[in-house]
Amino acid sequence: MFPLFKPAGDSALAVIFGDEIDEGINEKVHAVARAMEKASPEWLIEVVPTYTSLYIYYDPLRISYSEVAGAVGPFLGTKPEKGKRRVVKIPVAYGGDFGPDIGFVAEYNGLSVDEVIEIHSKPLYRVYMLGFLPGFAYLGGMDERIATPRLEKPRLKVPAGSVGIAGKQTGWYAIESPGGWRLIGRTPLKTFDPLKTPPSIVTPGDYVKFVPIGEEEFREIYEGNRGKEDD
Amino acid sequence: MIELLSVPSLTTVQDSGRRGYQRFGVPVGGVMDEVSARLANYLVGNDDKAPLLEFALKGPTLRFNASAVFAVGGDAEVRLNGVEISPWRSYWAKRGDVLEIGILKSGFYGYVAFAGGIKCEPILGSCSTYLRANFGKALKAGEGLKLGYAILTGKAGKELPEEFIPVYAEESEIRVIPGPQEDHFTKKGIETFLNSTYEVTPESDRMGYRLEGPEIEHSEKGAEVITDAVPPGAVQVPKNGKPIIMLADGQTTGGYPKIGVVARVDIPKVAQTRPGGRLRFKAVSVEEAQERLRKREKIMEAIKGFIRGEMKAYRLKVGERVVAFTKVEKR
C-alpha cells in the first residue's frame, strides 16, 4: 500500500511512505528527496521531506498532476546511502542562565543535573525533518529518562540557541520566539542564518551530537561565531 | 525615495515569495493576493515579482521625495495632493507630492506598486517581509523606502480595463481539492465542511484564517497526524472542528489533519475576505483546479500585454465584457 500518492492541492503531490515515526521510513523519504533535488526537473519547485511523507511542490503551469505522479515513479526506488551520514556537532553550555530549567528536569526525573547532561549529550540524534519555524529541527532519539512535560505557562521570549526538552522531544530554538519547552542549555552557534546557504546548520537527514561546553568556551564561540562540523 | 507619513495598519514590503526553503522551515510568504498585487505591478510596467507595499484595511499616507510612477491596487479612496484619483491606474508623482490611501471599501489587503519596484536586500532570494523570523519589518511612520531604477516615460496613465478590476465579495465560494488526510474525517464531517457557511474570525492574519461555523467531525483516526507538510491554502481542522486556512506566512509543517487544500486560483478570494466575511467550500478535482489556473494565467498574460500596448482588447456588445485579446500588429 505504500508509497501512496495524493494531491495536496493543485501545486503539490504528497508521497506517503508509511504511517509511523520510523528511522527506515524517514531514510527512504530523504533518499527520494535528495534524488529528486539532484535531478531537479524544470517543473520542480521544491521538496519538503517530513517524518513519513515527501511533499513535491511543482509548477502546475508546466506539468499536470498525473504527469508529476508518473515522473516521480522512477525515483521511488532510490536506496538510502548506507554509512554516509553527516554528523553536526552542536556545542551546548548546560544549566545556569543558559538552561534555567535543568534543575527541574533533574528533579522531575529523580536524577542529578550532571546525569541529565550526560544522558542528553550521549545519543546521536536523527534530524527527521525541519519545519514549524525557520530552522526548527525535529530530532529523534532522546532518552526517555529525561522526558519532562512542557512549562504550564510558556515564556514570552526564548533566546535563539536555547536547547530544551518537551515531553520526549529535544531540540533548540533556532530563532528567538515564545516557547514552552524546559530550557536546559544554549548553543553559541547561529543555528539559522538566512544570509547563509543553506540557511540552517542542519538539514533533514543529518545527525546531531550535543557537546557539553563551559561558559568560557560558550563566549569564545559566540564571539567568533564559528561552526563545528565534521563527517 | 518615498517617505511614509502615516501607517495606520500593518504595512509591509512583499513580493512573489520565497521558493526552495520550506524544508528549512521557511514559509513561502509573499503577497496575500497575488492577482491584485500582480495587476498593480503591471500597471507601472513591472514584472510579477517586483517588491511592492501591502497594507491591511487602511492604506498609508506617503510623500514622494523624487518623481515616481505608482499605482494603487484595491477598492480604496485615493488622493494625490488632496485630489481624488482612481485606483487601478498608474500616475506620475513629482517630488513633494503626497499620496493618501483611505480605508478599503471591500477586500482586506491593498497594494501600492512603484515603477522599478521597492529596493530591498533580499533574504533567501526574496524581499517578502516575514515578521516571525525578522525578515524585514512592519513599516512605521517616518520610514523612507528607496525605489528601484526605472525609466518613467510612458509608464503613467495606464488603466486596467474595468472588466478586470478585482471584485472583493463578502461571501465567496472557494474551490478545494479534497485531502490529503480526508480519512481523518467522517463522511458526515466532510459533508458539514462542504455544505456549511464559515465566517472569517478576527484571529486571522498573514499566517492563516481561522473560521467559525459548524464543527467538522473527525473520524476514529483523530485530530492529530504525524507532523506533516502544510502547503499554502491547506485547510487544517484541529480538535475543536473549526477549520483554519493556511496562507502566505503559514508554517511549513504541522500536525493537524488537512481536509483539503484551496485551489491556487481561489487563494486571493480567501485572502481578501475580511473578518466577518463568509466562505463556502466546493470540492473540485486537481485537474479542474489546474485547468482554471492555466486559464487565469492566460488572462493575466493578456492583461499584461494589453497594459504594455502589445495586445488589443475587443469589447463585444454582449454584456459589454472584454472577451478577446489580439496581438497589436507591428509595422
| Predicted confidence (pLDDT) per residue in A20-32, tens digit | 999 999 999 999 9
Interchain pair A10, B264: CB under 8 A = yes
Does an H or E element contain B68, and which?
A: strand B68-80
Nearest CA in chain A to B135: A194
Predicted TM-score (pTM) of the model is 0.93
Alpha carbons B126 and B20: distance in angstroms, whole number: 11
pLDDT at A228: 46
Pairing of strands B83-85, A169-172: unpaired
Nearest CA in chain B to A15: B180
Cell numbers for B77: 479612496
Pick the more confident residue, A132 or B23.
B23
Cell numbers for B304: 499584461
Mean pLDDT calculated for residue range B87-111: 98
- pLDDT tens digit string along A77-113? 999 887 778 999 999 999 999 999 999 999 999 999 9
Alpha carbons A35 and A77: distance in angstroms, whole number: 10
Pairing of strands B2-6, B61-64: antiparallel
Instruction: Please return the burial class of A16, using the count of CB atoms within 10 Å of its CB with bins 0-12, 13-18 and 19+.
Output: buried
User: If you search the block for the grid coordinates 568556551, which residue do you land on?
Assistant: A217
Interchain pair A9, B264: CB under 8 A = yes
- pLDDT tens digit string along B35-51? 999 999 999 999 999 99
pLDDT band at B317 (very low <50, low <70, confident <90, very high): low
Interchain pair A138, B124: CB under 8 A = no
Smallest Cβ–Cβ distance between A51 and the set B26, B227, B251 belongs to: B227
Average pLDDT, chain B: 94
**Alpha-carbon gap: B180 to the closest alpha carbon of chain A (Å):** 6
Q: What angle do CA B105, B109, B113 make, to 5 degrees?
A: 105
Q: Is B241 left (phi over 0), alpha (psi -120 to 50) or beta?
A: left
Residues ≥6 apart with Cβ < 8 Å to B232:
A9, B27, B28, B246, B247, B248, B250, B267
Mean pLDDT calculated for residue range A43-62: 97
- Identify all chain A residues contacting B24, using CB atoms and an 8 Å cutoff: 130, 134-135, 192, 198-200, 203
Interchain pair B25, A11: CB under 8 A = no
The complex scores an ipTM of 0.94
Residues ≥6 apart with Cβ < 8 Å to B298:
none
Interchain pair A199, B21: CB under 8 A = yes
